[in-house]
Amino acid sequence: MVELTVDGQAVGAEKGKMLLPICLDAGFDIPHLCYNESVRPYGACRLCLVEVRKNGRGRMTTSCTYPVIEGIEVLTQTEKVLRARRLVIELILAMCPGDEEIQEMAREMGVEDVRFEKEEKDCILCGLCGRVCEEVVGANAIHFANKGSNREMIPPFAGEATDCIACGACVTVCPVNVIGMREESDERTIIRWKRTLKMKKCKVCGNYFAPWFQLEKFRQQAGLPTDFFDTCYSCRE
């Protein structure tokens, strides 16, 4: 256990934990977009900036990638921090002016207007979908490509994501809801990754319950009998 102070309040924390979850747990509001506790911290969105003071010297850092140390003093609401966060959200808003979630967040932080040239992107490049696909799902179907201002999250060679099992984890984790999924009769499509998979029909009730490709993968991984996924969970005895 280490002791630190956040905005003047003493907070105890487990050693090695990152600062952002500790502050959130203690009730301090820090905006963030690219953080999810199920995957490793990444520090892409830069919104969770805080000021950390140690031995009389202070510096600004992203709290999601800062492991706590004994005796630090964290300031989450200073003018300097708020100004930096406003700039960050303004840049994100300039990149993706159409995202409602970003617009709402910017409004809450007091940013009305964008001074920079606007782009027409919708993805904020937080990388959550790719990290979830790699670390949680283990499918590695999508990844970042290119560098600098051309960076984008795409399936291999911007074609169909052939390793995608259409589990939908990226759809639920996306902070700006731009991935999108569609289920029509016997097909499920992950729209952004151009991946369409046939759904399996339950032998007993006739409902479609999961994509073939996904079930086949699970069956092989777990060494289940070939007829294991013939029935859905509700019909399985």
Partner 1 sequence: MENLNVYAVRLLTQKEYFAPGHRSCQGCAEALAVRLIAKALGRNAIVVQATGCMEIVASPLPFTSWEVPWIHVAFETAASVASGIEAGLKALMRKGRLPKKRVTVLGMGGDGATNDIGIMALSGALERGHDFVYICTDNEAYMNTGIQRSSGTPFGASTTTSPAGRVIPGQITWKKNMAAIAAAHNIPYVATACPSYPLDLVDKVKKAAGTKGPAYVHILSVCPTGWRSPTEMSIRLGRLAAETGVFPLYEIVNGRYRLTIDFPKLRPIRDYFKYQGRFRHLTDEMTEQIEERVHREYQALKDKCQ
The residue type at 174: C
Element (H, E) at 58: strand 57-62
Measured from the CB atom, is 158 or 191 closer to partner 1? 191
Closest contact distance (angstroms) between CB of 211 and partner 1 is: 9
Q: Which CB, 111 or 132, lies closer to partner 1?
A: 132
Binding site for partner 1 (CB under 8 A): 24-25, 27, 29, 36-38, 132, 136-137, 167-169, 171-173, 183, 185, 188, 205-210, 214, 233-234
CB of 119 to partner 1, least distance (A): 27
| Closer to partner 1 by Cβ: residue 95 or 229 | 229
Q: How far is the CB of 172 from partner 1 (least distance, A)?
A: 4
Distance CA 169, CA 193 (A): 13
**What CA–CA distances, in Å, run from 185 to 136, 188, 230?**
28, 8, 18
Q: CA–CA separation, 165 vs 183, rounded Å?
A: 14
For partner 1, the closer of residues 144 and 209 by Cβ is 209
Contacts made by residues 101-107, CB under 8 angstroms, sequence distance 24+: 101/175, 101/176, 101/177, 102/176, 105/31, 105/33
**Least CB distance to partner 1 at residue 178 (A):** 16
